[in-house]
Amino acid sequence: MVSRVRAELRKLLGLPTAWVGLVLGTLTAPAIVLLNAPYTRRAIAAGTLTDTSDLGLRDLGVGLIGPMVLGVIAVSSEYTSTSQHAPGARQLTATLTAVPDRLRLLVAKTAALVLVVAAQAAVAATATLGLTQVLHGDHVPAPAPARVAGAILYWTLTALLAYAITLITRNGIVPLTLLVINSTVVSVSYLLTKITDLASYLPDIVGAQMFIRDADFPVEIAPLTAGLVMTAWVAVLLAIGAVLFQRRDA
């Protein structure tokens, strides 16, 4: 088990695109806090910011492209051709030769992804929230540990969501487009909440309620319930992905 996870970790961290995700995801949120500091300070002074306890946690959202890229690339890299001159040669063939038990392979891959993303989320959250404390410490209360844990869980679950969708589509472009569009400032899921309250239970909307309080969510969901609903989404998609991975020809 340990050697499989180590192999998957090495494969993931050996991908240049994974490092794009790691660097982007870790640095974007702290950079935004730094860039927005003058505007935030003015907004606090003017009293337009009603709940400052959300401040750093809310900025964390822009870093989510990191876990998305990592989740997608962990699977799609297995399916892209290794060379222009060797049509049909994909890394997955070698991977399955080394670990023929597909379920064990998937468990190791998932574990490696969770380890990398959780570490990235912890670093990004520490940097973002620490910077918020340094810049606006007088006005912003230190975030509760439970909310920080919720944010780290949200990042990890987002990566797993991307990973599960890619397991189903076996192609990186589709989940990437879907997820990146949906992480823009006004997301499609948010638009849907304007049409039906049911959209509040979409994974990205419900997951955010684990650690963000002051937002115009049409349905208030307790953090614990929110975490459970998002976990359920990820679990269902992962189960579908795992069954397909086991049954389909590689």
Partner 1 sequence: MNVARAELRKLLTLPSLRLTALLTWAATLLLAYAYAYADRDAPLGDAALAPLGYTQAGFLVLGVLAAASEYEEGGQIHTTLLAMPRRLPLHVVKALTLGAVTLPVAAVTAATSTLPAGGATWTPAATAYLTLTTLLAAAVAGVVRRAVPAAILLLGLYFIVGPLLRARPGGIAAYLPDTAALDPPRGAAATVAWTAAALALAALTFHRRDA
The residue (of 28 and 95) whose beta carbon lies closer to partner 1 is: 28
| Residue (134 or 181) nearer to partner 1, CB | 181
The residue from 14, 93, 142, 184 that contacts partner 1 (CB under 8 A) is 184
What is the H or E stretch that residue 136 is in? helix 102-136
Count the site residues for partner 1 by CB under 8 A. 40
Q: Does 72 bind partner 1 (CB under 8 A)?
A: yes
C-alpha distance from residue 98 to each of 8, 106, 202 (Å): 12, 13, 37
Place of tokens 């702290």: 30
Return d(Cα 190, Cα 182) in angstroms, integer.
9
**Measured from the CB atom, is 82 or 225 closer to partner 1?**
82
Per rule CB under 8 A, is residue 5 in the interface with partner 1? no
Query: Taking CB under 8 A as the rule, does residue 89 contact partner 1?
Result: yes
Instruction: Kindly list the distances between the CA atom of residue 244 and the CA atoms of 106, 117, 153, 169, in Å, as whole numbers in the listed order.
Output: 12, 24, 26, 10
CA–CA gap between residue 198 and residue 184 (Å, rounded): 20
Could you list the residues that contact partner 1 (CB under 8 A)?
Answer: 16-17, 20-21, 24, 28, 32, 35-36, 39, 62, 65, 69, 72-73, 76, 80-81, 83-89, 172-173, 176-177, 180-181, 183-186, 188, 191-192, 194-195
